[in-house]
Structure 1
C-alpha cells in the first residue's frame, strides 16, 4: 500500500487542491488521495464540453459520490471553438488549452492555487499534445511525479476498493473522427449512439466507432471480437447504424488500440 500512501502524502502541506476529474480511474485515484489528505479542501471538477460521452459524465458523478469529494461540473461547448472543430493534429492541444482556462477560472473563484490531473507515466509515451497544454497552464500531475504507471493505478485502485479500478480507458468522442475531418454535433451524436448500441447488443466493455463519413469501423478489445460474431445482433446493429447514416460497417480484426486515428485524411 506504499504507493497510495505516497500519493496521499503528496497532498499533505497543500492548503487546497482542484482535481481535473474525467470519469476514468487515473483522475479518480488522484481525487481519492486528495480527499484523504485535504478533506473538504479538495474539489473535483469535470468539464461537460459536449464531446464527453454521457456515460463518462455519469461515471465522474458516481465516483465523486463514492469518494465523498465535492464535485463541480463546468459546462461549455468545444464546438464553439473553431480551432478544435477543424480537427487537425493539434485538436487535443486546443481542447486542453480551453479546459485549462476554465479550470483556472474555477480555481480563482474557489481560491485554490493547486490544479492537478490524472496523467500517469504511460501517457507520456503517447502523442498527447493536450498534456503539453495542461502543463503550460500550470496543471500538475502527481501520478507522474511519484512514478505511477497505468498498471500501478489499476492495482492501487483495486487495493483501496475503488469501484472503477478496472474501467476501460476512454477518450472524448471527437477522437473517433480522423484528423482533417470537421467535428460536428451530428457526428458526435451518432458515434455515441452507435457505441451504446454495440455495448447493449454484444456485452462488450471497450468500444470505439470510428467515423469515416458514410462508413464506420467498429473496434473492440481483441479478446472481445468473438462476441461480435452473433449474426442476428449484427444485423440489428447494421440496420440501426444505417439509420444514423453509416452505410458501410466493418469490424476491425486487429481490435482496439489507442491513437489509431492519428493520421490526416484527404
Structure 2
C-alpha cells in the first residue's frame, strides 16, 4: 500500500507552499520544459529551483554540480547532501578553473570567464545524461548588481526560471521557508576567489588559507563571514552584531594565533561588517559594470 502523504512532496516539503502566487508562477515557468538539468550549487537559489523543478516535472530533473578549485569543501558536501534530501539525482563534474589563465590572473572579468566555462561543462554533462535544457538560479536581485556571470549565462541560452517567475532573494527565502528547505536561511555563498582583490593572481595557497580561516570562524558559531586576503593582511568581514565578540578576549587572541599560523602577519576587523561585493569598490567605473565578486 502506498503510504505517501499527498500533501507532501517526495522530499517531505508541504505542497501547500506551491499553491502560493509565487509558487504557482515558478511551477508554471518550469512546466514549459519536458526535462531539465539544474546547475546546482546547494545555495538558497539553486536549492529552491531544484525543488521546484522536481515538483513541476515530476522527477524529470537532474542536478549538475561543478567541483572546482575555487570552492570550499564544506559547500561541495552540503550540495551533495541537499540533493540527496530532495531525492534528485546528481552528476558532479570536476572543473579545473585555475588552469585557465583568464581566470587565474583574477581580472575584473574573471566571473564572466569562469561562468562560461562552468556552464559549458555542466551543459555537456547534462547532455550526456539526456538533458538538453539547463537552468541556473539567477534571481531578480542579480539584475541590480554586478553579475558578469549572468551575461555569460544569457549568451549561452541558459534558462532563468526564478527571474521569469519574478522572484527576488526575499521571495526565494520566503518560499524556501514555507517549504522547510534546509537552505532558507543559509548565508549567501560565493567562490573563494571573491576573497582575493582583483589583479592579485589566484594562488592555491592563498585560497586554502582563506578557506581554513573561514572554517575557523564558522566552527566558533559565526555565519555570513568573509576573510578577505590582502597579502600579509587578513581582513575579516562579519555581521555587525558579531563584531564585539570578534574583538573581545579571549577569542581575539585565538583568531590572531590561528591566522598567523595560516601565514597572515596582520589580522584586521572591518568595522563596516560584511558587505557583499566589497572588493568591487576598487574597480574603476567601467570595469565595475563588467566585473564581479561577492
Does residue 85 of structure 2 align to residue 59 of structure 1? Answer: no
- Secondary structure in 2 aligned to 1:138? coil
CA distance in 1, matches of 2:169, 2:153: 19
Task: Decide which of 234, 253, 270 is 1:235's aligned counterpart.
Answer: 253
Q: 1:24: which partner in 2?
A: 43
CA distance in 2, matches of 1:68, 1:99: 24
Higher mean C-alpha displacement, 8-17 vs 138-147: 8-17
Question: Counterparts in 2 of 1:1-266, with a 5 A limit?
Answer: 1-201=20-220, 203-262=221-280, 263-264=282-283
The Cα of 1:224 is off from its aligned counterpart by: 2.1
Contact 2:245–2:251 (Cα < 8 Å) also in 1: no
CA distance in 1, matches of 2:33, 2:283: 43
CA distance in 1, matches of 2:129, 2:219: 40
Contact 2:68–2:94 (Cα < 8 Å) also in 1: yes
CA distance in 2, matches of 1:106, 1:225: 43
The runs of at least 4 aligned residues of structure 1 exceeding 4 Å deviation read none
The Cα of 1:108 is off from its aligned counterpart by: 2.0
Contact 2:64–2:126 (Cα < 8 Å) also in 1: no
- Matched positions, count: 264
CA distance in 2, matches of 1:264, 1:10: 36
Structure 1, unaligned stretches of length 5 or more? none
Structure 2, unaligned stretches of length 5 or more? 1-19, 285-294
CA distance in 2, matches of 1:123, 1:112: 26
- Secondary structure in 2 aligned to 1:261? helix
The Cα of 1:104 is off from its aligned counterpart by: 2.0
Question: How high is the TM-score relative to the length of structure 2?
Answer: 0.87
CA distance in 2, matches of 1:188, 1:195: 11
Question: How high is the TM-score relative to the length of structure 1?
Answer: 0.96
- Secondary structure in 2 aligned to 1:39? coil
Higher mean C-alpha displacement, 133-142 vs 148-157: 133-142
**Structure whose CA Rg is larger:** 2
RMSD value, Cα: 1.3
Higher mean C-alpha displacement, 73-82 vs 229-238: 229-238
Contact 1:21–1:44 (Cα < 8 Å) also in 2: yes
